[in-house]
Amino acid sequence: MLPDIELKTIDSKTKNLNDYKDKTIVVVNVASKCGFTPQYKDLQLLFEEFKDKGLVVLGFPCNQFGAQEPGTSYEIAKFCEAQFGITFDMFEKIDVNGPNTHPLYVFLKSKAAGILGTESIKWNFTKFLIDKSGETIERFGPNDSVDKIRTQVLKII
């Protein structure tokens, strides 16, 4: 079951994680000036491929890794639209580690540890897959391709 966590969209609207109940969810911390930024394209393709089957992708800009997401919400949204045609849900910039970690990432990290059991997010484009019942299925590192996520999505969608 998904917890009650408030989310702010990139255009400052309020949503709740529960708005996505009964959906298959991919949550990813993103950055516009990162070597992994081209993954936006593959995430958009994954979204388009499975959105009619209940898949959502939730992008959370984060500037905690090499200051690779310095822009404002407006600048990030324009970049995503212009460079990658992003239509999946994007949210305001958040922290994924440290004292100001967003409650969503507190939840996700507690459900799916990273390498060697560590909870902290190591870099941009760390991805979490949540099934329709709200169970966190798997955590994928930045180096994990979207094709690897697609394989898991096919098993649960």
- Quick one: DSSP state of residue 79? H
Q: Crossing angle of helices 146-156/39-50, nearest 10°?
A: 20
Residue 99's CB: how many other CB atoms inside 10 A?
Answer: 5
From 2, 7, 34, 121, active-site residue: 34
Phi and psi, residue 116, nearest 5°: 60, 25
Q: Locate tokens 């590192």: which residue?
A: 141
Closest CA to 109 of 139, 153, 130, 89: 139
Residue 55 belongs to what H/E stretch?
A: strand 55-61
Residue type, 83: Q
Residue 34 designated active-site: yes
Q: Judge contact between 109 and 123, C-beta under 8 A.
A: no
What positions carry a catalytic annotation?
34
